């Protein structure tokens, strides 16, 4: 069934001060209504401070990351958007006109990017409000309804998170730093807006539920009316929030207490130049520049520091080898130890040394992985590490001796193999591994064994 899905993503920015006041932006580890002042609680007579400059710059950078055209050299007003809700202390939200338009992220068009402030936290079931979050700066990213399935939406959101976190300018996703309003219309039905979604999973589930609900209605011959619904996370359903056949009229006016912004073209250029390369573009470049597989590049750009490390290493190690190692073994070790690339303590040089040893067959890949694990736990010179752990690749002569010894000591297995039982080979290979304390490459072992046993035929 045809459907159109569009998203309005609200992303918190990483600043120390709130957007229009100097309160701290930490709202999660403090008691309720602690990081507040007359401005972010909407006390009578309170006036905003001038907008937080870092927010404007960060928004421009995010917009450029998303391939948008920044609105330059004409006034961008900060407007008052009026509506009544308990978490909105002044009865209006300060929201800017678009600072950028017409972007694109992996095939989904970005309609606009603008600045907003977060309202307070309202618990609708209990009826309580905490204004700690009120005034935290947000950037809102609005897409065109280009997504065609919940899977599309999920994929887009994951990509978007990657791009945003890559800039280092946003608060990490945990704890509601990114919230999404989802708009969906099925063929034959009106547009439904779903609010109160706090995670990518939530967006996906909300859409799945909503599609089922709407299909059922249409199937019964009932209309799907235009409305706003709330997503209830615990039950994974959507429920009507307010019925509106018409658009709510927010009665926008430019905020008389805040002068408009005019973004200067030169500043945009400067930001563009010092900007961190966005992951989706970096992925492309890595694949082309280093001749590595798209899938590997994709994993490598999952974290900016991870990709930085890769490019450092690829200068002195075969990029394809490095790519494989980054994509599989290093990622595996990091995941297992629950570390981000940012937590890595070893130096690039140390990793280069290790990978060069693997590249030049000084140690086997399996030994390399062991060494890597140790290296992550405690950075040290890899050469010394390998020696200490006795991981050095065994010399060819010693391997030959070990193979011959294993053949001598396991005559029954040899007979079985020669009689056609292939798995006996692995058994003998295992014995070789024991004899060599794992210092031989299993592939080498098998090669040698076959050659030796061939002689016996």
Partner 1 sequence: MGEVTKAKLDQLRSGELSPVENVRRALERISKLNPKINAFIEVNNGAVAQAEALERKLKRGKRAGKLAGLAIGIKSNINVNGLRATCASRTLEDYVAAYDAEVVKRVLAEDGIIIGMNNMDEFACGSSGETSAFGATDNPAAPGSIPGGSSSGGGAAIAAGMCDLCLGTDTGGSIRNPASHCGVVGVKPTYGLVPRQGLIDLGMSLDQIGPIAPDVYGAALLLEVIAGKNLNESVMLDVSKASYIDKIDGADIKGMKVGVSPQFVEITDSAVMNVIDKSIESLRDLGAEIVDVELPHIEEALPAYYLIVSVEFFSATRKFDGRKYGKRIEDVCGDEVLRRILRGRYISQKEYRGKYYQRALQVRTIIRRELMAALEKVDVIVGPTVPKLPHKLGTKLTLMEMYAYDYLTIPANLAGICGGVVKAGEVDGIPVGLQVQGKMLGEGQVLRVMRAFEAVS
Partner 2 sequence: MAEERQKEIERSAEEIVESFVKATEGLPSEREMYYSQEAYNVVRPDGKPSSSEERTEFRKRFIKIMPAKDEDGNLRVEVAKWVK
Residues making contact with partner 2 (CB under 8 A): 15-17, 21-25, 31-38, 41, 43, 49-56, 75, 77, 86, 122, 124-131, 230, 232, 239-242, 254, 256, 259-262
Binders of partner 1 among residues 232 to 251 (CB under 8 A) are: 249, 251
201 contacts which partner out of partner 2, partner 1, none, CB within 5 to 8 A by kind?
Answer: none
Q: What 3-state class would DSSP assign to 399? A: helix
Q: Is 420 in the site for partner 1 (CB under 8 A)?
A: no
Q: What is the 3-state secondary structure (H, E, C) of 350-385?
A: HHHHHHHHHHCCCCCHHHHHHHHHHHHHCCCCHHHH
Query: What token pair was written down for 48?
Result: 């905003």
Closest to partner 1 by CB, 56 or 170: 56
Q: What 3-state class would DSSP assign to 437? A: coil
**Among 50, 125, 234, 266, interactor with partner 1 by CB under 8 A:** 50
Q: Is 75 in the site for partner 1 (CB under 8 A)?
A: no
119 φ/ψ angles, rounded to the nearest 5 degrees: -80, 180
Of 84-92, 353-361, 395-403, 408-416, which segment contacts partner 1 by CB under 8 A? Answer: 84-92
Query: What token pair was written down for 168?
Result: 């280092």
Q: Is 262 in the site for partner 1 (CB under 8 A)?
A: no
Q: Are strands 227-232 and 192-197 parallel, antiparallel or unpaired?
A: parallel
Tell which phi-psi region holds residue 108, choosing left (phi > 0), alpha (psi between -120 and 50) or beta. Answer: beta
DSSP string, 102-141: EEEETTEEEEEEEEEE---EEETTTTEEEGGGTT-EEEEE
Q: Is 133 in the site for partner 1 (CB under 8 A)?
A: no
Residues 6 or more apart from 129 whose CB is under 8 A from it? Answer: 86, 87, 120, 121, 122, 123
Q: Is 54 in the site for partner 1 (CB under 8 A)?
A: no
For partner 1 (CB under 8 A), the number of binding residues is: 28
- Burial (0-12, 13-18, 19+ Cβ within 10 Å), 220: exposed
**Among 18, 80, 114, 304, interactor with partner 1 by CB under 8 A:** 80
**Whole-angstrom distance, CA of residue 269 vs CA of residue 44:** 41
Of 47-55, 234-242, 317-325, 336-344, which segment contacts partner 1 by CB under 8 A? Answer: 47-55
48 contacts which partner out of partner 1, partner 2, none, CB within 5 to 8 A by kind?
Answer: partner 1
Q: What is the dihedral of CA 117, 61, 27, 121, to 10 degrees?
A: 40
Residues 6 or more apart from 344 whose CB is under 8 A from it? Answer: 305, 309, 334, 376
Of 46-54, 262-270, 290-298, 393-401, which segment contacts partner 1 by CB under 8 A? Answer: 46-54
Binders of partner 1 among residues 88 to 117 (CB under 8 A) are: 89-92
Q: Is 447 in the site for partner 1 (CB under 8 A)?
A: no
**Among 17, 32, 34, 42, interactor with partner 1 by CB under 8 A:** 42
**Among 2, 29, 31, 45, interactor with partner 1 by CB under 8 A:** 45
C-beta of 130: minimal distance to partner 2 in Å?
5
Instruction: Answer for the pair 321, 355: CB distance below 8 angstroms, yes or no.
Output: yes
Closest to partner 2 by CB, 25 or 214: 25
**Among 38, 107, 168, 291, interactor with partner 1 by CB under 8 A:** 38
Instruction: Answer for the pair 104, 317: CB distance below 8 angstroms, yes or no.
Output: no
Closest to partner 2 by CB, 55 or 440: 55
Q: Which residues bind partner 1 (CB under 8 A)?
A: 38, 41-51, 80, 82, 84, 86, 89-92, 129, 249, 251, 253, 256-259
């Amino acid at each position: 069934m045809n459907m159109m899905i569009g998203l309005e993503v609200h992303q918190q920015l990483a600043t120390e001060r709130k957007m229009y006041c100097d309160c701290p932006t930490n709202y999660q580890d403090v008691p309720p209504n602690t990081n507040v002042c007359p401005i972010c609680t909407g006390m009578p007579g309170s006036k905003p401070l001038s907008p937080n400059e870092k927010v404007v710059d960060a928004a421009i950078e995010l917009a450029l990351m998303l391939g948008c055209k920044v609105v330059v050299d004409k006034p961008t007003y900060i407007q008052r958007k009026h509506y009544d809700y308990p978490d909105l202390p002044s009865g209006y939200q300060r929201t800017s006109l678009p600072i950028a338009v017409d972007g694109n992220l992996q095939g989904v068009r970005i309609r606009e990017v603008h600045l907003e402030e977060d309202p307070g936290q309202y618990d609708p079931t209990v009826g309580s409000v905490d204004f700690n979050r009120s005034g935290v700066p947000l950037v809102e990213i609005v897409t065109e309804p280009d997504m065609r399935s919940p899977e599309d939406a999920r994929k887009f959101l994951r990509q978007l998170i990657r791009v945003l976190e890559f800039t280092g300018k946003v608060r990490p996703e945990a704890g509601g730093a990114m919230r999404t309003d989802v708009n969906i219309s099925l063929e034959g039905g009106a547009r439904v807006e779903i609010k109160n979604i706090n995670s990518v999973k939530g967006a996906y589930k909300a859409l799945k539920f909503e599609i089922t609900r709407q299909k059922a209605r249409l199937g019964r011959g009932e209309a799907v009316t235009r409305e706003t619904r709330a997503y209830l996370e615990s039950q994974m359903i959507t429920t009507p929030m307010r019925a509106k056949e018409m658009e709510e009229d927010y009665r926008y006016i430019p905020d008389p207490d805040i002068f408009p912004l005019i973004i200067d073209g030169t500043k945009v250029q400067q930001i563009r130049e010092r900007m961190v390369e966005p992951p989706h573009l970096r992925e492309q470049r890595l694949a082309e520049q280093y001749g590595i597989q798209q899938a590997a590049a994709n994993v490598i750009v999952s974290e900016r520091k991870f990709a930085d490390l890769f490019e450092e290493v690829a200068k002195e190690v075969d990029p394809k080898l490095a790519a494989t190692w980054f994509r599989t073994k290093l990622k595996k070790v990091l995941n297992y130890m629950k570390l981000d690339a940012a937590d890595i303590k070893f130096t690039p040089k140390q990793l280069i040394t290790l990978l060069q040893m693997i590249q030049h067959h000084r140690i086997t890949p399996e030994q390399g992985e062991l060494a890597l694990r140790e290296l992550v736990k405690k950075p040290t010179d890899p050469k010394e590490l390998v020696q200490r752990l006795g991981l050095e690749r065994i010399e060819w002569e010693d391997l030959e001796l070990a193979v011959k010894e294993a053949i001598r000591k396991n005559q029954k297995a040899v007979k079985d193999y020669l009689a056609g039982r292939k798995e006996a080979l692995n058994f003998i290979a295992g014995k070789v591994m024991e004899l060599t304390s794992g210092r031989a490459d299993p592939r080498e072992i098998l090669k040698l064994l076959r050659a030796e046993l061939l002689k016996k035929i």
